[in-house]
A and B are shown apart, each in its own frame.
Chain A
C-alpha cells in the first residue's frame, strides 16, 4: 500500500511538472514581457536590467528551474494586464471561488444524493422518471443557459434574489467571506445552484445506474433471502457498493466543474478565479493564464489522488488490487 501510494504520488508530481513546463513555455514564448512591463520610453539600460532581473538571458532549462523555484516560494510572476503579482490576484479571488464551490457541493449532496438514491431504488416510479427527465435536461443544458434562465425567473420576474456580486462580505483578515451575512447567502444561491446543476444531474444518473446494477446482484438477492429489511438492504448493503464508482466519477468530473465555474462566475459577475481567468484570456494575460493552468491541474490531480488513496477505506478489495 505504501509503495503504491508513493508511486502514485511520484506520478502525480511528474505530471504536474509536465503541466508546469507547458505553462512555462507559454510564458516564455508567447507575449512579450518586456513590452508589457517597460514603459514605451524606457532606455536600453533599463531594458537590459529587466532582462537580467527576469533571467531572460539564461538558457531555457535554467529559466524553467527558476520558474519552479519561484512558484515554490509563492512567487508566481506578474500580470501583464495589471502589473500586480499573480499570487496577490489569486489570493484575492480564491475565497469567492472556494465558497461558490463549497455551497454548490452542499447543494449536490443535499439534493443530488437523495434524489439519485430515490431514482435508483424506485427506477420505475412516476416521480423517479420525472427526476430523470429533469436531470437529463440538467446534464445537456449549457451552464450559461441555466444561469440566464435562473436570473430571468428568480431575479427579473420574481425579484427574489440578486443576480450579481457577492453581497456583503466580511473580512476575517486572511479570508473575505460572504457566508456570514444574509445578503451574502442570498447572493450565492443562484450562482451555486447554476454551478451545481451539472453535478446534481450527474450524481443522480450515476447513483441510479449503479444502484440499479447493484440491486440485481446476487449478494443483494441473498441479503433478501436472509430477511434483512429493505431499508438495510438499500441504504447499507447496496449503497456501500456504489460509493466507490460514484466518488471516482465525481472526482473525474472535477475538471468540468472548474470549467463551469468560469462560465457561472461570468454570468453572475462573481469576483472569483474564473472571472480572473476570463479577463486574463480576453486581455491575453499569459502569466495569469499559465498559473491558472497549473492551479487547475494541481487541484484536479491532488483531489483525484486523495480519492484514490482513500479507496481502501471504502472497499478493502482495492488494497489487494493495488499491491
Chain B
C-alpha cells in the first residue's frame, strides 16, 4: 500500500446495521478496502457474507431496514458518505456505474431500451438530443448488440437474457463512470452466456481503463477477472490479496477452505473438493472473537475472545491471529 498510487475508491471501517424490530444487528462490521485506478477488485464470499450490501452501501442504495451507520467512503478525494442526496445522485451512474445481477428484473419493462439509455445519459452529461441518441446507439454497439437502430426501439422483453445483461452493462457505463460495481453480473445467466458477458466486461475494462469492483461468489470468475481480491466472511474482511497470492498462498484459513471447496483442478491436475465443516453464522448470530472460529481448525483461545484486526503485509492484508504459512498452501 506504501508504494501504491492514491486509490480511486477508499473504504474504511464501513459499518452497516439492520434494524430488526428495534434491535440493531450488524450486517457489515468495519469493512475496509480500496480500489486503485484501472484495477479490478474482486469481492468474494458466501451468500450472506455482505458482498452486495457493501456494493449498495457505497452508492447509498441500501434497502431499509439496512442502514449505513459508520465508516468513510472516499472516491477520488470526495467523501461519498457526506454528500447531499442530490450530489449523491450525480455520483450514481455518473461517477460510479452499477451492474445489477438479474437482467430479467432490472430493466424497466414498459420503457424502451433506447429511452432508458438516453435518460441515463442525459441525467449526467450535458448533451443535445441528437448527441444523446448517437451516444446511446454507440453504446448498444459497444456492448455487442447487433443492429443498434433496431434494439434502440425495442422493449426489454423482446431481448434474450444475455442481450439484456449487455444492455444493463451499457446502462451502467454510458455516462463514463470512473468505477463500475458489478454485483454478480453473470449469476443469473445461462452458463453458455456467462463467458461472453465476462469477456465483454474485460474488454470494456481494457478499452476504457475504468476501475471495477466485481462482486461474486464464484472463484472461477475471480480467477479470470480480478487483479486483487477481498474475501468477506460474516460481514467482515477476512483477507485481501493479489489474485495470484490468494490462490497460491492464502493467509486466512477461511480463504483456503473456500478455495478447496471450489471444484478446480489442482497443480497435479486432480480435482479436489473439501467442504468447510459447519455453516456461516447468520445475521446477529456471529460468535464472539473471530467470526470463523467455530469452523476453523487453527482456532485457539484468543480467536474466541477477540476479533482479530486486519494485519497488513506488503501487498496483502488478513484478519487472523494464526495465519497459514506459505508452505501449507
Contact = CB atoms under 8 A, between A and B. Distances in A.
Asked whether the complex places CB atoms of A and B closer than 8 A, the reply is yes
Interface of A: 216-229, 232, 236-237, 240-241, 314-317, 320
Contacts of B116: 223
Given A227-B123, A229-B123, A219 B106 contact: yes
Nearest to B101: A218
Interface stretch (B14-22, B89-97, B312-320): B89-97
Contacts of B175: 226-227
Contacts of A241: 108-110
Given A237-B108, A315-B109, A227 B93 contact: yes
B59 A316 contact: no
Contacts, number: 82
Given A223-B116, A229-B123, 11 more contacts: A217-B105, A219-B106, A222-B106, A225-B59, A225-B98, A227-B91, A227-B92, A228-B120, A317-B110, A317-B157, A320-B157
A14 B264 CA distance: 65
Contacts of A217: 105
Contacts of A219: 105-109
B171 interface: yes
A227 B109 contact: no
Interface in B281-313: none
B111 interface: yes
A219 B104 CA distance: 9
B100 interface: yes
Interface of B: 59, 61, 63, 89-94, 97-98, 100, 102, 105-111, 116, 119-120, 123-124, 155, 157-158, 168, 171-172, 175
A222 B110 contact: no
A221 B66 CA distance: 15
A302 B123 CA distance: 42
Give the secondary structure class of A's interface: helix
Nearest to A218: B105
Contacts of A229: 89, 123
27 contacts: A217-B105, A218-B106, A222-B98, A222-B168, A225-B59, A225-B61, A225-B92, A225-B98, A225-B172, A226-B92, A226-B93, A226-B98, A226-B120, A226-B123, A226-B171, A226-B175, A227-B89, A227-B90, A227-B92, A227-B93, A228-B119, A229-B123, A232-B123, A314-B110, A316-B110, A317-B157, A320-B157
A225 B182 CA distance: 12
Nearest to A225: B98
Contacts of A223: 108, 116
A223 B93 CA distance: 9
Contacts of B110: 240-241, 314-317
Given A316-B155, A320-B157, A227 B124 contact: yes
A216 B64 CA distance: 11
B95 to A, nearest CB: 9
Contact of A227 (B63, B94, B106): B94
Which residue, A217, A227, A241, A320, has most C-beta atoms of chain B within 10 A? A227
Nearest to B86: A229
A316 B157 contact: yes
Nearest to B154: A316
Contacts of B92: 224-227
A216 B61 CA distance: 12
B94 to A, nearest CB: 6
A213 to B, nearest CB: 13
Contacts of B93: 225-228
B167 to A, nearest CB: 11
A218 B102 contact: yes
Contacts of B157: 316-317, 320
Nearest to B85: A230
